[in-house]
């Protein structure tokens, strides 16, 4: 079952055409729109799907056809009002809730999954609001961002984003999407990413410190870890970075962040917290 509303006609009824200056690029390729809900894992709970950035409702329409209930967050007041009107029947039936507001500020519902065409300017911040919820997601990103999210250790794309996203979920790029799929077309290629929540294969006692420590080391990805630990104590919050370097394996300290696997970062972060006085903040 798929939605029946034409994305072009929705744009016409809403009286909008998209605005690149406001990070507004409406997904209008019906084939891509129809596929997005199908990328959720087969065993995903579709009882309450969250959509961030509803726009004129082309994806909302598809989600209502494939899910029991949908909550859509839309920051543009006029578009939020349009969604209420366009989908009045679903709203009245309790199957659609429209939250007007910024997805970085509103209280997110207890959704069971998220399928969204994210505003690219804030896609990273929104993603790291969604991933800790522990729900499967299907999200549209700039292709470069998507490839960095899914990158493997030792590749050029591997970095803080890869480790941080992989801490919460298995990450896969499931479909490249050309600029022509959008109105107006963005200046970059896009890609669809599926995240499937899982527990990492390593232990982390202080998640905030771990993620901050990884972020700090990747700011100096061309340096050895020995130098990166010392040079970024003001970011990671270490009181005594030299003690961390002294306590750590010398071979590990000679490597660079891009060649270090997530479980090795986790072990080093635990050692840093123990010997270097890792503290809150940063």
Q: Alpha-carbon distance 112 to 240, whole Å?
A: 42
Tokens of 89: 């029947």
- Which of 31-70 are b and which e, b meaning 16 or more Cβ less than 10 Å from the residue's Cβ? ebbebbbebbeeebebebbbbbbbbbbbbbbbbbebbebb
Tokens of 105: 């500020």
Summarize the annotated binding site for S-adenosyl-L-methionine as residue ranges: 25, 27, 53, 74, 102, 117
Closest residue by Cα to residue 181 from 51, 3, 32, 62: 32
Alpha helices in the chain (DSSP H): 7-14, 30-35, 58-66, 77-86, 88-92, 123-130, 143-149, 160-168, 207-218, 225-231, 233-236, 241-247, 250-253, 262-276
Residue 193, strand partner residues? 139, 173
Residue 176, strand partner residues? 191
Asked if 16 and 56 count as a contact pair (C-beta separation under 8 A), the reply is yes
CA atoms within 13 A on the CB side of 165: 29
CA atoms within 13 A on the CB side of 104: 8
Summarize the annotated binding site as residue ranges: 25, 27, 53, 74, 102, 117
Asked if 248 and 186 count as a contact pair (C-beta separation under 8 A), the reply is no
Q: Alpha-carbon distance 231 to 218, whole Å?
A: 11
């Amino acid at each position: 079952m798929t939605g029946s509303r034409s994305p072009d006609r929705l744009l016409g009824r809403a009286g909008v055409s998209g605005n690149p200056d406001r990070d507004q690029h409406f997904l209008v390729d019906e084939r891509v729109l129809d596929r997005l809900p199908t990328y959720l894992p087969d065993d995903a709970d579709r009882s309450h799907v969250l959509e961030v950035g509803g726009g004129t409702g082309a994806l909302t329409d598809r989600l209502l056809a494939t899910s029991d209930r949908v909550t859509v967050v839309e920051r543009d007041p006029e578009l939020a009002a349009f969604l209420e009107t366009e989908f009045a029947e679903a709203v009245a039936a309790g199957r659609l809730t429209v939250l007007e507001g910024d997805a970085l500020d509103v209280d997110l519902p207890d959704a069971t999954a998220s399928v969204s065409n994210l505003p690219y300017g804030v896609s990273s911040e929104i993603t790291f609001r969604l991933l800790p919820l522990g729900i499967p997601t299907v999200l549209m990103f700039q292709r470069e961002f998507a490839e960095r999210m899914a990158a493997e250790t030792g590749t050029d794309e591997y970095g803080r984003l890869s480790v941080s996203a992989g801490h919460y979920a298995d990450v896969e790029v499931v479909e490249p999407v050309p600029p022509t799929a959008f109105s107006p077309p963005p200046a970059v290629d896009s890609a669809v990413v599926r995240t499937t929540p899982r527990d990492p294969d390593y232990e982390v006692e202080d998640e905030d410190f771990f993620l901050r420590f990884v972020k700090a080391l990747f700011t100096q990805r061309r340096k050895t870890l020995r130098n990166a630990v010392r040079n970024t104590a003001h970011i990671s919050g270490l009181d005594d970075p030299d003690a961390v370097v002294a306590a750590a394996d010398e071979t590990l300290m000679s490597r660079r962040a891009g060649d270090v696997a997530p479980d090795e970062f986790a072990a080093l972060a635990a050692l840093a917290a123990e010997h270097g006085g890792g503290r809150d903040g940063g």
